[in-house]
């Protein structure tokens, strides 16, 4: 009899836990400003451009809550090709100067790997400079040869 009553209590508590669970909090601060779709203006790795303008036009970054999604869409193909290149969680540290950002891959071959860097949001422009966590976090928006750093500039897209 005692097992049944403990099981009943545990089940009731579990049910109450699911009823009172709150939805995730809405992003605040800079993360709220970043929400939405972004198109690249420039992408460099170690000082070298990573994509011609026509290829950059096919990329879209989407901030959705604390997730960052990177898509490649080639509309010249029939049917159009849309690939999800990456999904990462994003953690911001606006208390540092420059402000800090950490990306963690949520799946695929890179699952669990992190990239750390800096960011700046000014109007409809987002600057990112980041690299692998086994190298020092960037302190400036530059990606010199041998640094392992990416430097990206993105423009926010209207809704």
More confident residue, 63 or 8: 63
Residue 105 CA to residue 67 CA, distance in Å, equals 10
Q: pLDDT grade, residue 159 (50/70/90)?
A: confident
More confident residue, 64 or 108: 64
92: in domain:
yes
Residue 159 CA to residue 63 CA, distance in Å, equals 13
Q: Work out the percent of the chain whose per-residue pLDDT is above 90.
A: 74
Q: Which two tokens stand for residue 142?
A: 């530059």
151: in domain:
yes
126: in domain:
yes
11: in domain:
no
How far CA 1 is from CA of 8, 11, 12, 15, 85, in Å, comes to 11, 15, 17, 21, 55
Number of domains into which the chain is organized: 1
pLDDT at 75 over 90: no
21: in domain:
no
Helices (H) and strands (E) in the chain, counts: 3, 9
Expressed as residue numbers, the domain containing 130 is 27-156
74: in domain:
yes
Looking up residue 68, the CATH number of its domain turns out to be: 2.40.128.280
14: in domain:
no
Q: Work out the percent of the chain whose per-residue pLDDT is above 70.
A: 84
20: in domain:
no
pLDDT at 65 over 70: yes
pLDDT at 153 over 60: yes
Residue 118 CA to residue 149 CA, distance in Å, equals 11
């Amino acid at each position: 009899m005692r097992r049944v009553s403990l099981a009943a209590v545990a089940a009731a508590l579990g049910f109450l836990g699911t009823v009172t669970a709150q939805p995730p909090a809405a992003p605040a601060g800079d993360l709220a400003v970043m929400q939405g779709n972004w198109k690249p203006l420039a992408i460099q790795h170690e000082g070298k451009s990573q994509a011609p303008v026509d290829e950059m036009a096919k990329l879209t970054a989407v901030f959705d809550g604390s997730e960052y999604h990177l898509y490649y869409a080639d509309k010249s193909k029939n049917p159009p090709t849309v690939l999800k290149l990456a999904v990462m969680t994003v953690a911001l540290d606006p208390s540092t100067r420059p402000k800090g950002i950490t990306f963690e891959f949520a799946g695929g071959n890179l699952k669990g790997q992190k990239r750390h860097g800096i960011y700046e949001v000014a109007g409809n422009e987002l600057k990112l400079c980041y690299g692998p966590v086994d190298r020092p976090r960037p302190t400036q928006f530059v990606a010199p040869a041998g640094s392992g750093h990416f430097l990206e500039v993105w423009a926010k897209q209207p809704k």
